[in-house]
Amino acid sequence: MAIYHTRSKRKPTGGLHKDYVAKKNHQVGREFTKTVIGEKKVRVLRGRGGNESIALRQDNKVNFSDEKGKTKVEMIDSVVENKANLQFVRAGIVTKGAIVKTKAGNIKITSRPGQHGILNGVIVK
């Protein structure tokens, strides 16, 4: 079943709104991309106006800045914490705000992998 970004069918009083417009293609949404650890895989999605959006399916590398401000790339070992959903740690799903373990230390993900198509982060002390 498709996901639509439309107004609620219920009024604040609990009554039903009457349908006066059909569902439109520009209102269609999608399930969130469950980015996991593995060899890099991306999904290219068509956006409005023919623009392309990249959703990251899998990746095993993360970009981060060290204390001096130098950008480095490190391999991800595992997901340590994910406040979006505690079950994501078991499944190894990486979202924004997740903390991953690397050889350089724990890194907090600051990018949105399902929207940006890349894993960026900062070191957690």
Determine the residue type at 20: Y
pLDDT at 99: 98
- The structural domains of the chain, with segments of one domain joined by +, span 35-123
| pTM greater than 0.85 | no
pLDDT at 76: 97
**HEC string for 54-90:** EEEEECCEEEEECCCCCEEEEEEEEEEECCCCCHHHH
CATH class in words for 35-123: alpha beta
pLDDT at 102: 97
pLDDT at 26: 86
pLDDT at 105: 94
pLDDT at 100: 98
pLDDT 10s digit of each residue in the chain, 125 long? 789 999 889 999 999 999 888 989 889 888 889 999 999 999 999 988 999 999 999 999 999 998 888 999 999 999 999 999 999 999 999 999 999 999 999 999 999 999 999 999 999 98
pLDDT at 52: 94
- Count CB-CB contacts under 10 A for residue 78: 10
Structure tokens at 16: 């039903």
